[in-house]
Amino acid sequence: MNSNYLYSGLIALVVSLTCFGVVNQFNNTEKTVRVEHISKTPASQAVYTRDANNNLIPLDFTQTAQDVVDAVVHIKSTQLQSTKPMQLNREKNLPHPFRDFFGDEYFQHFGPRSHQESGPPYRGLPMPQVGTGSGVIISEDGYIITNNHVIDNADDIEVTLHDKRTYKAKIVGTDPSTDLALLQIKEKNLPKVAFLDSDQVKIGEWVLAVGNPFSLNSTITAGIVSAKGRNINILKEQYAVEDFIQTDAAINPGNSGGALVNLDGGLIGINTAIASPTGSYSGYGFAIPANIVSKVMEDLIEYGVVQRGVLGITIRTVDGNLAKAHDLSTLKGVYVDSLMTPSAAKDAGVKSGDVIIKVNDTPVNTSPELQGIIARHRPGEQVTLTIERKGKEKTIDVILHNQRGDTTITSKETDVLNVIGAELTDIEADDANRLDIVHGVEVTRLYAGKLKNSTQMREGFIITHVNGKPIKSKKQLKSLLESHTGGVMLEGIYRDIPGEYFYAFGLS
């Protein structure tokens, strides 16, 4: 037994001496730290996607970002406003203080006046309001597409490129119905973004949003196409078109007017809105499809105004409840609720209760999809509708109307009416009698110009007097404005609102 203790002790001594030697040797050796460098991120090819031919390719945003960022610009729009609107008595002869003010460029809307209201004009101090957004260069000679709400009512528009060059921009045209505007700067050989066929964009496809959120210039975020054909009811125009692409790529205030592109750098849409309870990104962003953007851009360049074909129908998306209520045999398509007067669809044979399931062989399942497809066509163009009526399919060829109910193309005036930004129509005698006026000229459309930028006039205003002089025709109004400089006061009425209205602006 003593020999066992002795044996165990010898083993313990040997182990202790060995450990002491190793530790001592380590402490006497100089420490060496080795840092390894690698040429690329280890995870850069850990994620894959599929190309158009269904081949697996590494998911990499760097080249796309490099290709697109130079063509997305920062836009600063400045609007000069008075702190308070001026007030005006109802006398035809303007009081002397107002005549003094009339030489100024800054005027406010004169709202409906009651007979009890009177008093001297009030002059507010011009206070600049500055807004920022984004834009996309779509041609080498300086055309830039953005959102209408980015530059709406701006007195000055400044564009800054990615390389920090700065330019003043002019408004080529606007389209509030789609919330798009076309600008131009004086420059050549600019980088641009090419348009894609947005109908081919697929849900789940990778996309990049490029813009200037919170004035953080040239910001790029990534996400996927979350949905198509969204209508979020943010545009209040009578003929508003909402056929948005939804994405979860982060979009914030300042991204408006920026680019939504695919991994090849092609333009899928123009970023426009977010759905958020806080006003900042909450996961839902919306972009105007490139096919609509392209049509609006072409119209604004060629005609100065957008040529919008309309069917002349009121519609609803078919769902289970609607199908049950109207005994429909399909759950797809768009239900024709009623037909307007005049109506291109009615003239072609479409009836209330029909379900539109295709336009030119393109399936339509929702109202926004139908609106988006029709918005790409001009008055006078033909579309073929495939409808379902009482369980049977039928095709109907429709010649689209314009908003006035005919097929003529609208031309933007190139004279003083272009300066004020209005299309005018003479009021017929019978119409004047119904409105209890002697004469007048109706503003049928407003686009970028003095009226839209300097007043709160809306379409449908009937001008009865200019600077106190009765106006009997469009020709007379043009002649009066062409021979006038300085302040202009328009007096008139609306068909649907009681009272007289006054609008003032300056002509140089």
For residues 273 and 92, give the distance between their C-alpha atoms in angstroms, rounded to a whole number.
44
Please indicate whether residue 149 is annotated as part of the active site: yes
The distance from CA 319 to its chain's CA centroid, rounded to whole angstroms, is: 28
- Cis status, amide bond into 342, omega within 30 of 0: yes
CA dist 148 → 173, 177, 307, 374 (Å): 9, 9, 17, 21
Q: Say if strands 355-359 and 267-274 run parallel, antiparallel, or are unpaired.
A: unpaired
Closest C-alpha to 297, from 417, 156, 175, 199: 175
Q: Say if strands 219-230 and 206-211 run parallel, antiparallel, or are unpaired.
A: antiparallel
Q: Cβ(209)–Cβ(247) under 8 Å? A: yes
Q: Cβ(245)–Cβ(260) under 8 Å? A: yes
Q: Which of 74, 77, 134, 149 is catalytic?
A: 149
For residues 67 and 422, give the distance between their C-alpha atoms in angstroms, rounded to a whole number.
40
Please indicate whether residue 299 is annotated as part of the active site: no
Handedness of CA 410, 415, 417, 418 (dihedral sign): positive
Please indicate whether residue 100 is annotated as part of the active site: no
Q: Which two tokens stand for residue 239?
A: 């003929």
Measured torsion, CA atoms of residues 8, 13, 16, 20, in degrees rounded to the nearest 10: -170
Q: Which amino acid makes up residue 17?
A: L
Question: How many Cβ atoms are within 10 Å of 255's Cβ, its own excluded?
Answer: 31
The set of residues, in sequence order, having a beta carbon less than 8 Å from that of 380 and lying 6+ positions away, is 309, 399, 400, 407, 408, 409
Q: Which of 198, 218, 226, 256 is catalytic?
A: 256
For residues 89 and 106, give the distance between their C-alpha atoms in angstroms, rounded to a whole number.
19
Question: How many Cβ atoms are within 10 Å of 312's Cβ, its own excluded?
Answer: 21
For residues 255 and 273, give the distance between their C-alpha atoms in angstroms, rounded to a whole number.
9
Catalytic residue list: 149, 179, 256
